[in-house]
Structure formats: C-alpha cells, structure tokens
C-alpha cells in the first residue's frame, strides 16, 4: 500500500482491510421509511414541474381553439360516414 496523498489504495477511515465493504441496496432509498420516500417523491414532482415551459394565455387560447375546431370537424366527418353506412345498409337490407 502506498502513502501517497489521495491514493485510492488507502482504506476509508475507521475501516480495516479485513472488513468487507457492505453493498448498499436500494440506492438513495435504502433505509428511508414510507413517509420519507413519499416526501421525496413529491419533492421530485415539484422539481420536474418547475422545468415545464408553460404556455402563455394567448398560446393556450389558440391551442384550445385548434383542438375544438379539430373535434368539430372530426364529429362532422364521422357523422357523414355513419349516415352513409346507414343509407347503404338500408339500401342492401331493405
């Protein structure tokens, strides 16, 4: 073993060479209780929500208008197709 500063061969303080290093299971959540894990979960949710780029009011109204117009067009299209199929069924079956 070397005596160089910062050597990776030196044991951690308070630990002898004979003691095997215990593998920690579970990462950061290893020994935390359910309430601590729940608090961590909510802190992570809030941190992610802060990263979101929220639309402005004008963008939101534009997006809403586009979605409503698309839904109305799709309703009209499905209505026309449904009417056409019903007329075809009436023609075929009487």
What is the rounded CA–CA span in Å between residue 67 and residue 74? 10
The answer to the question of residue 45 being in a domain is yes
Q: Mean of the pLDDT values across residues 24-38?
A: 74
Mind listing the pLDDT tens digit for each residue in 84-93? 999 999 999 9
Report pLDDT for 70: 98
| Position 19 in a domain | no
- Is 13 a domain residue? no
- For residue 40, which of 50, 49, 52, 28 has the smallest C-alpha distance? 28
- Residue 80 clears pLDDT 90, i.e. is over it: yes
Report the number of distinct structural domains present in the chain.
1
Beta-carbon contacts of residue 15 (< 8 Å; ≥ 6 apart):
21
pLDDT at 4: 59
Confirm whether 6 is domain-assigned.
no
Domain range for 71: 27-93
In a domain, 20, yes or no: no
At 21, list the tokens: 């290093």
Residue 37 lies in a domain: yes
Q: CA-to-CA distance for 58 and 55, rounded, in angstroms?
A: 8
In a domain, 64, yes or no: yes
Note whether residue 2 is domain-resident: no
Q: What is the pLDDT of residues 47-56, one digit of tens each?
A: 999 999 999 9
pLDDT at 94: 82
């Amino acid at each position: 073993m070397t005596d160089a500063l910062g050597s990776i061969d030196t044991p951690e303080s308070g630990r002898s060479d004979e003691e095997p290093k215990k593998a920690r299971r579970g990462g950061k959540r290893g020994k935390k209780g359910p309430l601590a894990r729940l608090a961590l979960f909510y802190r992570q949710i809030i941190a992610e929500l802060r990263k979101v780029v929220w639309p402005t009011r004008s963008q939101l109204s534009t997006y809403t208008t586009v979605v409503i117009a698309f839904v109305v067009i799709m309703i009209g299209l499905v209505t026309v197709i449904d009417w056409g199929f019903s007329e075809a069924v009436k023609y075929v079956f009487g």
